[in-house]
Amino acid sequence: MIDDPYTVPYQAIYAVCNDEGSLVEIIEFSSCYGGSAWARYHYAKSPLVIGTKVIGNTIRYLCRAGSCDLNLEASRAAGGIRCVEVHDGKVEITYGGLGGGGVGATSCRAMAGGVLEYDISESGGGKVGSGTITVPRRSRLIVGIDDTDSEEVGATWCLAHNIASLVDCEAARYLSHSIVQLYPVPAKTQNCVSTALEFACMERGAEQVLAEIRDLLTEYSVSDETGMVSLSCFDGSVLEDYGRSCKGRTLTREYALKCARDAGAEVWLDGNGVIGALGAIPYVAMPDESVVL
Taking only the tens place, the pLDDT of each residue in 151-198 is: 778 799 999 999 999 999 999 999 999 999 998 876 655 568 999 999
Q: Determine the pLDDT at residue 213.
A: 98
Lowest mean pLDDT among 88-97, 188-197, 198-207, 264-273: 188-197
| Band of residue 99 on the pLDDT scale cut at 50, 70, 90 | confident
Q: Determine the pLDDT at residue 105.
A: 83
- Res. 56: pLDDT tops 60: yes
Q: Which residues of 130-168 are buried (b: 16+ CB within 10 A; e: fewer)?
A: bbbbebbbbbbbbbbbbbbbeeeebbbbebbbebbeebe
Residue 49 burial (CB count, 10 A): 19
What's this model's pTM, rounded to 2 decimal places?
A: 0.94
Query: Torsion angle of alpha carbons 217, 223, 224, 226, nearest 10°?
Result: -50
Taking only the tens place, the pLDDT of each residue in 116-131 is: 999 987 777 777 778 9
* Domains delineated in the chain: 12-137 (no CATH), 147-283 (3.30.70.2200)
Q: What is the mean pLDDT of residues 8-18?
A: 97
Alpha helices per DSSP H over the chain: 33-43, 100-103, 109-110, 156-167, 205-220, 240-248, 253-263, 274-280
3-state secondary structure of 142: strand
Q: Determine the pLDDT at residue 232.
A: 97
